Structure 1
């Protein structure tokens, strides 16, 4: 969705540095870093994201198939909460590991075995972290019918991981939109990002 990628550029959620590379959570050194947490500071944008997720669900999955919405900790939590409110569905989130106190929960929220759920992530690069969330929900007896993200780098490693689990994933915008939408980046930035992306394939 062109309007989403344009807004991400406008609020400076997308940073590009061709001289000092960023380090992703996966360890990859990259000339680009995306901080979708910044979207929470812009009410019009965070609501547009929630509405876009809702429309994606209605179009591709069917809202009546979904029993619960889960966000990834921490960046996926606010977007999952807004979406749950918009669709009037339960909302929860999944920690990267169990708490070391209290009930030691890894999954937070109200849920039941057999529920069909959707996972909300802010960004997918290699897919490693969200795949672990999917496996945690499956181990708890839930059926993950899809993963939704604001942005996807469209890396083969992520596609292969989701294909292995036979779970579809969707994003509101992606790497291709970033490098092809007119006026977002300079020609030099487009070329550097394309070369970087090609190296990861």
Structure 2
């Protein structure tokens, strides 16, 4: 497990990756977002998070941010988490890259089998970073954080792939968490709504 703070952003051409994400996932039209807002553009996370040539470099960028967070706080991160469904490929890739275990956060508890909302091993006191796909208001991330905290674990930060610049940072920081994003919509050549 490497949480030393080594910086590796230079291995990834961020501008090329931003262009690849936009090319793969940017849709224009009229879309209703999870937040209920209407937008003239939509970033279809599944169109970028299912492409190995995008997912691999994203895993490296997530790993770098998590290492920096550990160095800044002086505390090791012991688990990564991703919310159903868009966060699952992201957290899996970052978990493989860093050698850290991960947990998956369901939108709600199952009504069959083990009836769990959190899948994977998580212990009280574990320091967790939640990885998010596209953050708009931060609502889904905060719901996932609440589920993780209910287990007794300590969520220390949310890191989004893309921040739409529509309030996620403010809402997540207001909840007492650090927030970071690998990209903003501006990095993808999009002006926020």
Q: TM-score, normalised by structure 2?
A: 0.86
Q: Partners of 1:93 and 1:155 in 2: how far apart?
A: 25
Give the aligned partner of residue 42 of structure 1.
51
Structure 1 distance, partners of 2:114, 2:43, is 34
- Aligned residue in 1 for 2:125: 114
1:131–1:52 CA distance, 2 compared to 1 (3 A): same
* Match of residue 97 from structure 2: 86
Aligned: 1:125 with 2:136:
yes
The structure in which a higher percent of residues are helix is 1
Q: Which runs of 5+ in 2 are unaligned?
A: 1-13
How many corresponding residue pairs?
178
Q: Which residue of 1 aligns with 2:20?
A: 7
Q: Are 1:162 and 2:188 counterparts?
A: no
Larger gyration radius, structure 1 or structure 2: 1
> Per the alignment, in what secondary structure is the counterpart of residue 63 of structure 2?
helix
**Cα distance between partner residues in 2 of 1:41 and 1:93:** 17
What's the CA shift string for 1:50-93, capped at 9, x where partnerless? 01101111223339611101111001001101111111111111
> Where do 5+ consecutive residues of structure 1 fail to align?
180-189
Q: Which residue of 2 aligns with 1:153?
A: 164
